[in-house]
Structure 1
Amino acid sequence: MSAQIFEMVAKRVLKDTARKNINSKDPYFEEVAVYGRDGRPTGRVKKQKKGIPRILSQHDGKVLKKVRRQAYRLDMSLFNCCGIRFGWSSVIGIVPFIGDVIDLFLAYRVVTSCCSIEGGLPESLKYRMFFNILLDFGIGLIPFVGDIADAVFRANTRNAWLLEEYLIKKAETELRLREEKERPNGQRPVLADLKDLDSEPVPTKSFWPSWGRGKGPSHDGQLNQEIGVTEPEPGTSRPPTYSEQAPQAGGT
């Protein structure tokens, strides 16, 4: 059973890696364009700390900020060499075996921080995070080459991004459920009304009233009734009169 779970989690992780390279993004800082006094971009960028999505609760926002900081220090905080960012995780891993065990312990602390969100992490997401740090530990056991591969894989950064994606989806779901709960009884969602407009037949009005007299049900289920209009005689100020039945041909 455990082997099947491990295989399922491994496939999911590889699928995420193929879909987008989440380990290449800085979890703690972001680059923003610099604008001049005239409001035009100068072509330069500056680094600043990433903001917390407003949709998150205060507690989950603090947890996400803490996990971002831990992942950045372990994976990217020290120096850049040949386009690869190195953090404390890579430096500690240089020490054979003992360094890899310490690195595994630090990565486990990151996952523990992720589990402190409101409601905790779902088991499937927790397995994916543990798979990331175990795979990172296995790669790091290879002397020298494993340390470089460890710096490229960045298990802590992957887990930080997985946490952020989960928190945003969870907050959006809770917000939608809260809005549905606060909606007055009998009021239907706007989206459902729009779907009904697409599915229900739209009543049509004939250009020539005499063609559709007394034929077919209207939109509310009652028979159509034509309204006759009698025009006033020329030279009089009497307004036109209306009747439920159109005047017969030749009538006045």
Structure 2
Amino acid sequence: MASMLGKMFTRRFLRSSTSRVFGTEDPYYEEIPQDELGRKKKGSKRRRQVPPGLSQNDAMVLTEVRQRAYRLDMSLGFWCCGIGIGWNAIILLIPGIGAAIAAYLSYCVVQAANKIDGGLPNWLYTQMMTNLAIDFGIGLVPLLGDVIHILYKANSRNALLLDNYLREVGQSKIENGNFVHRS
């Protein structure tokens, strides 16, 4: 009984403190708001919807970036202390070249994001590349760096940066009347 309570306390404490410090929001799923839960339990998730007002290309790019980020950061289906683990965590275990491979795959996520209409603005591209540089630097530190790398989740951060930017773009298109409804 005591070990079960300790385990529950540790999960809740670590999940809340890491999400506060590292901001580990899921780029692919969102929690269902309280007023839309219906018969589902609190904390249920659904796929994030593509923001309204985006072109077909931007919607496809956002979906691709979300999927890649999810695969690299959270997709393996097991959670350690409330923290999702993805393929980047496994790749980092390769001695010597693991950090370089993980950095390359993360760079591919940024390049995919750059395929939006008009490309990424310079400030957003710089922010995404800064996330990658921090992530790569952290990944070079043996063992402790791997743990921090798992918590930092640069790909998820970059997917959320793109999501927020495209939400603003879509909203401004709707407000300006430049929105073409896609089916």
Mark yes or no: TM-score above 0.5: yes
Question: Structure 2: which amino acid aligns with 1:28?
Answer: Y
Identify if the C-alpha distance between structure 1 residues 51 and 21 changes in structure 2 by more than 3 Å, giving closer, same or farther.
farther
TM-score (norm 1): 0.57
Give the aligned partner of residue 226 of structure 1.
none
Identical pairs, percent: 41
Cα displacement (A) at 1:55: 2.0
Paired with 1:167 and 1:52, the residues of 2 have a C-alpha distance of 9
Question: Structure 1: which amino acid aligns with 2:28?
Answer: Y
- Structure 1 segment 22-101 matched on structure 2, within 5 A: 23-32=23-32, 41=39, 43=41, 45-78=43-76, 79-101=78-100
Paired with 2:49 and 2:174, the residues of 1 have a C-alpha distance of 20
Identify if the C-alpha distance between structure 1 residues 21 and 169 changes in structure 2 by more than 3 Å, giving closer, same or farther.
farther
Query: Which SS does the other structure have where 2:32 is aligned?
Result: strand
Cα displacement (A) at 1:41: 4.0
Identify if the C-alpha distance between structure 1 residues 23 and 42 changes in structure 2 by more than 3 Å, giving closer, same or farther.
closer
Paired with 1:83 and 1:33, the residues of 2 have a C-alpha distance of 20
Cα displacement (A) at 1:30: 2.5
Q: Does structure 2 conserve the Cα–Cα contact (< 8 Å) formed by 1:52 and 1:61?
A: yes
Please say which structure displays the higher CA radius of gyration: 1
Q: How many residues align?
A: 157
Identify if the C-alpha distance between structure 1 residues 100 and 55 changes in structure 2 by more than 3 Å, giving closer, same or farther.
same
Paired with 1:125 and 1:33, the residues of 2 have a C-alpha distance of 28
Question: Structure 2: which amino acid aligns with 1:29?
Answer: Y
Question: Structure 2: which amino acid aligns with 1:27?
Answer: P
Paired with 2:40 and 2:159, the residues of 1 have a C-alpha distance of 32
- After superposition, give the CA deviation of every residue in 1:1-55 in whole Å (9 maximum; x if it has no partner): xxxxxxxxxxxxxxxxxxx8684111112233799xxx95453554332211122
* Unaligned residue ranges in structure 1 (runs of 5+): 1-19, 180-252
Q: Does structure 2 conserve the Cα–Cα contact (< 8 Å) formed by 1:129 and 1:159?
A: yes
- Structure 1 segment 32-181 matched on structure 2, within 5 A: 32=32, 41=39, 43=41, 45-78=43-76, 79-178=78-177
Structure 1 or 2: larger strand share?
1
Paired with 1:173 and 1:90, the residues of 2 have a C-alpha distance of 38
Identify if the C-alpha distance between structure 1 residues 95 and 48 changes in structure 2 by more than 3 Å, giving closer, same or farther.
same
Q: Does structure 1 conserve the Cα–Cα contact (< 8 Å) formed by 2:53 and 2:169?
A: no
Cα displacement (A) at 1:95: 1.5
TM-score (norm 2): 0.77
Query: Which SS does the other structure have where 1:24 is aligned?
Result: coil
Cα displacement (A) at 1:120: 0.5
Query: Which SS does the other structure have where 2:94 is aligned?
Result: coil
Q: Larger RCO: Structure 1 or Structure 2 (Cα < 8 Å, ≥ 6 residues apart)?
A: 2
Paired with 1:22 and 1:170, the residues of 2 have a C-alpha distance of 26
Q: Does structure 2 conserve the Cα–Cα contact (< 8 Å) formed by 1:22 and 1:158?
A: no
Q: Does structure 2 conserve the Cα–Cα contact (< 8 Å) formed by 1:96 and 1:141?
A: no
Q: Does structure 2 conserve the Cα–Cα contact (< 8 Å) formed by 1:93 and 1:103?
A: yes
Identify if the C-alpha distance between structure 1 residues 40 and 169 changes in structure 2 by more than 3 Å, giving closer, same or farther.
closer
Structure 1 or 2: larger helix share?
2
